[in-house]
Every structure is written in C-alpha cells, then in structure tokens.
C-alpha cells in the first residue's frame, strides 16, 4: 500500500470523513466526453491537422472509448449532428457497443449552415425556423435509436445592432420552437438548454444567461433543464452560486466543462482556475450528499483540443474533474455547517481551503487500482501505442465539423 495513501486515509478519518464512501462515489463518477474534441478543430484563424486525429463518427467513438478505457469514468460520448451524422444509426449504436462506449447527449447544430446567418429559432423568416425545428426533431429520432436521454441545445441566435430584431417576437418564436421539440419527447428524454452571453452575436443574445434558460425550461416543463457551460459567462461571474440556485429549483440538468481565460476559450477544464472548479464541485457534492435534494446532472466536457494531442487532452480533462470531485468529497461538511451557523467566516473559508489544498493524488490512484486500472492514465495511454497505431491507420479522409 502506498504510504502517501495511508497517511491521507489517517488524516481524513481523523476529520470524520468516510473514505470508503468517498471511494465508492469516485468509482461511480460519470464524465461524458465530446466527439468534437477528438477531430481536427481550430480557431477562426485556422485548423492545424494532427496525425491520427479521428476523421469520422466511428473513429471519434474509438477515441472516446480509449479515454474511458484508461480513466474508467468516461463511459459515454456526446455527439454533434451533423458533424457525427451517419446513414445507419443502428449500425453506429452497435459499433459503440462493440468498442465499449455509450452514446450520450445529442447536440443539434443550428448555427453553422448559411441559412442560419441571421439566426435559427429566432429568425424572422418562418421557413428558417421550420428548418431548425425539423433538424431538432430529426435529432429526437436519433435519440430514439441511440437511447440517448439528453437533447443538448445551444443557439447562436442574437443580433449585432440595436433595432435589428424585436426581442419579444424572438422570445415567442424561441418558445414556440422549443415547445414543438419538447412535445416530441418520449420516456425520460430531456431538453438541456444552454446559454451564452455573447458570440457570435455582439449586441444581444436570445439565451444570454441562466435566467433566460431557466425561464424557457420552466415554461416548457419538468423535462427541460438548464445546462451550464463554464465558458459562457462574463468575467467574474460567480458560477457556483448559479449552480446552487438551479439545483435548489430542480433545474440544473447538465454541465459543459471547460476552462477559459478571456472568453469562451474552450481550454482544458481546470487549467485556468482550478479553485473555481473546486467551488463549483463543492456545490454539486453538497447537493449530492443532501438526502432531501434530487439531481440528475449530465457531466459533460465541451472542449476543442486544437493544439494538445486530443485523446491525451481528454484523459487529462477527465482526471482534472476526478480531482475536483475528490477534493469536494473530502470537505468536512459538518464543520462547515457549524462554522456557517456560528458566522465564523475565517473558519468556514479555512475548511474549504483545507480540502482544496489536500493532495488527493494518492486517493484517486488507489481508486483506479481498485477499479483495475493503471493508476497513471496518461502515462499508460502513452505507453499503449494507441496513437502510433491510429496514426498509421488514419491516413487521408476528412476532419471534424470545424475542419
Ligand atoms: C457553443 O459555444 C458551445 O458551447 C455549444 O455547446 C456547442 O454545441 C459547442 O460549443 C460546440 O461548438
Ligand atoms: Mn457548450
């Protein structure tokens, strides 16, 4: 047994933390990686192709399954339609099963085609709104085949100049469109409504913040929930506060994890502000441990790995989320509640800092060993020869939606 692990268990046990419970929760963690993180992508200035990058939906499934094989906690992959569009969805589902990955959220794309230049579901042209709704309905059909629970929606709709659009009419069109899609759901299918405060529109965005998404989700009903993307807020926004409020209202349905320094940078989660990530997870864990709170949150990554090797970046991201979760699980919650009750500001902050500053590496390594995995996923992946193998095989062919 690693002596660092033994020391950590001693320390946590002394704080009254049930290490076996922490490990059990870590083993059940479920992170979904994005198919678009495995293909060639870039910025608006260019796309730099990488040897071995996945060229089609099947190869993206293979890469996602590889991320899962080395981390043990990334059992599903989100698809973007039409980037991942195939003729035979039953065939793709079977292939996913063969390579050991589940198909997760389906993301319609109503922002890239020429017709969407002035918007999709908020476009003043009814025929364009129709096309956008039809595309989303097609995505619901895909979900019926793949067994996906979540339809994950993000709209680029907005205006660039004052007077360009009628805000209230647009709000009506948005609701009408979402309602038609919502009504097509069956079983436990859900709609996750993402918001983003700017870009590509620079004057106004129709779903700009959690309030707008919350309003739409509330009007639609229980199967509509809000999705938080960490890159979609103005600088300085307290995201953990939004998390807490949405959980409290039963309206937090999903996450798009990533990191940013300037805007919606799509950088590796935890790379820029790991403390913020911890504070967000702290709210998620507080809810998870509260017997009176029920949450159904899809934990997804939304990143474009433009420069980093893609599967390595996915593994690194999943491991960052594992550490953030582990640190949040070892917060002494009883002591925190007491400090809050006593209004002991310094003590409360110190309790969070103690967990955040704890090196959870030995704990997550032990969890991986108990899951039958190599304790060092990145190194194990590098040694596996996977990249060399796929680089030799994946020669020629297309890129992702960005390429
Ligand atoms: C938009 O910036 C976004 O966050 C949405 O989730 C898209 O589906 C995704 O990025 C990929 O472009
Ligand atoms: Mn997103």
Residues in the chain: 403
What CATH code would you report for 28-332?
3.20.20.150
| Nearest residue to 23 via CA among 378, 380, 369, 377 | 369
139, 194, 263, 306, best to mutate for ligand 1 pocket (most atoms within 8 Å of CB): 194
Which residues are placed with Cβ below 5 angstroms of ligand 2, an ion? Answer: 229, 256, 302
Is residue 153 within 8 A of residue 192, CB to CB? The reply is yes
Tokens of 25: 């929760």
Query: Which residues fall within 8 angstroms of residue 230, CB to CB, at 6 or more apart?
Result: 239, 255, 256, 257, 258, 259, 260, 269, 277, 280
In the numeric block, the tokens 């953030």 are attached to 324
158, 205, 256, 265, best to mutate for ligand 1 pocket (most atoms within 8 Å of CB): 256
Q: Measured from the CA of 199, which atom of ligand 1 is nearest?
A: 2
Q: How far apart are CA 72 and CA 82, in angstroms?
A: 28
In the numeric block, the tokens 């890239």 are attached to 112
Tokens of 354: 């103690």
Q: How far apart are CA 74 and CA 368, in angstroms?
A: 13
Query: Which residues fall within 8 angstroms of residue 372, CB to CB, at 6 or more apart?
Result: 72
Tokens of 28: 């059940």
According to DSSP, the β-strands at 46-47 and 42-43 are antiparallel
b/e code 303-342 from CB counts within 10 Å (16+ = b): bbbbebbbbbbbbbbbbbbbbbbbbbbbbbbebbeebeee
What count of other Cβ atoms lies within 10 Å of the Cβ of residue 245?
Answer: 15
User: CB-hemisphere CA count at 13 Å for 168?
Assistant: 0
| Nearest residue to 35 via CA among 266, 264, 301 | 301
Whether the bond between 200 and the residue before it is cis, its omega within 30 degrees of 0, is: yes
Our measurement of the distance from residue 373's CA atom to the centroid of its chain's CA atoms, rounded to an integer in Å, reads 23
Q: How far apart are CA 56 and CA 393, in angstroms?
A: 13
116, 154, 213, best to mutate for ligand 1 pocket (most atoms within 8 Å of CB): 154
Predicted local distance difference test score (pLDDT) of residue 403: 46
Residue 298 gets which letter from DSSP? Answer: E
Q: How far apart are CA 358 and CA 29, in angstroms?
A: 20
Q: How far apart are CA 165 and CA 145, in angstroms?
A: 38
Whether the bond between 212 and the residue before it is cis, its omega within 30 degrees of 0, is: no
Domain map (residue ranges) of the chain: 28-332
User: CB-hemisphere CA count at 13 Å for 244?
Assistant: 9
Which residue's CA is the closest to the ligand 1 atom numbered 7? 154
Ligand 2 centroid–CA 232 distance in Å is 8
What count of other Cβ atoms lies within 10 Å of the Cβ of residue 177?
Answer: 22
Predicted local distance difference test score (pLDDT) of residue 396: 83
Predicted local distance difference test score (pLDDT) of residue 402: 53
Tokens of 269: 């989660």
Exposed/middle/buried for residue 46 (C-beta within 10 Å: 0-12, 13-18, 19+): exposed
Which residue's CA is the closest to the ligand 1 atom numbered 6? 154
Question: What residues line ligand 1, using a CB cutoff of 6 Å?
Answer: 36, 107, 154, 194, 196, 229, 256, 264, 302
Ordered per-residue pLDDT tens for the chain, 403 residues: 899 999 999 999 999 999 999 999 999 999 999 999 999 988 888 898 999 999 999 999 999 999 999 999 999 999 999 999 999 999 999 999 999 999 999 999 999 999 999 999 999 999 999 999 999 999 999 999 999 999 999 999 999 999 999 999 999 999 999 999 999 999 999 999 999 999 999 999 999 999 999 999 999 999 999 999 999 999 999 999 999 999 999 999 999 999 999 999 999 999 999 999 999 999 999 999 999 999 999 999 999 999 999 999 999 999 999 999 999 999 999 999 999 999 999 999 999 999 999 999 999 999 999 999 999 999 999 999 999 999 999 998 765 555 4
Predicted local distance difference test score (pLDDT) of residue 399: 57
Predicted local distance difference test score (pLDDT) of residue 82: 95
Residue 268 gets which letter from DSSP? Answer: P
Which residue's CA is the closest to the ligand 1 atom numbered 9? 302
Q: From the CA atom positions of the chain, what is the Rg in Å?
A: 21
Q: How far apart are CA 39 and CA 401, in angstroms?
A: 8
> What residues pair up with 34 in beta bridges, in sequence order?
78
Ligand 2 centroid–CA 105 distance in Å is 12
């Amino acid at each position: 047994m690693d002596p660092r692990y033994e020391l950590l268990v001693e320390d946590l046990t002394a704080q009254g933390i049930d290490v076996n419970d922490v490990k059990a929760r870590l083993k059940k963690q479920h992170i979904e990686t994005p198919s678009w993180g495995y293909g060639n992508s870039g910025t608006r200035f260019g796309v730099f192709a990488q040897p071995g990058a996945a060229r089609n939906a099947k190869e993206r499934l293979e890469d996602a399954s590889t991320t899962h094989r080395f981390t043990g906690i990334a059992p599903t992959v989100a698809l973007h339609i039409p980037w991942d569009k195939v003729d035979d969805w039953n065939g793709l589902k079977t292939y996913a099963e063969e390579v050991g990955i589940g198909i997760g959220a389906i993301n319609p794309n109503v922002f890239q085609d020429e017709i969407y230049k002035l918007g999709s579901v908020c476009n003043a042209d009814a025929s364009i709104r129709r096309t956008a709704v039809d595309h989303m309905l097609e995505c619901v059909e895909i979900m019926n085949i793949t067994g996906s629970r979540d339809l994950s929606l993000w709209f680029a709709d907005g205006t660039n100049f004052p007077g360009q659009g009628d805000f209230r009419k647009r709000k009506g069109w948005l609701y009408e469109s979402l309602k038609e899609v919502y009504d097509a759901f069956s079983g436990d299918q859900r709609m996750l409504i993402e918001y983003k405060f700017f870009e590509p529109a620079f004057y106004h965005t129709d779903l700009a913040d959690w309030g707008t998404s919350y309003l739409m989700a509330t009007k639609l009903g229980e199967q509509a929930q809000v999705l938080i993307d960490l890159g979609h807020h103005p600088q300085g926004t307290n995201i953990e506060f939004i998390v807490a409020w949405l959980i409290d209202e039963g309206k937090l349905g999903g996450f798009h994890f990533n990191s940013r320094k300037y805007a919606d940078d799509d950088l590796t989660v935890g790379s820029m502000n790991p403390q913020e990530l911890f504070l967000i997870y702290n709210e998620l864990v507080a809810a998870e441990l509260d017997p009176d709170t029920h949450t159904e949150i899809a934990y997804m990554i939304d990143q474009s790995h433009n420069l980093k090797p893609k599967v390595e970046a996915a593994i690194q991201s999943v491991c960052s989320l594992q550490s953030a979760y582990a640190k949040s699980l070892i917060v002494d919650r009883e002591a925190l509640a007491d400090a809050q009750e006593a209004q002991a500001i310094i003590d409360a902050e110190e309790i969070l800092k103690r967990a955040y500053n704890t090196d959870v590496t030995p704990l997550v390594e032990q969890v991986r060993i108990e899951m039958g995995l190599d304790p060092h996923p990145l190194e194990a992946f590098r040694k596996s020869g996977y990249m060399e193998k796929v680089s030799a095989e994946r020669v020629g062919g297309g890129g992702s939606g960005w390429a």
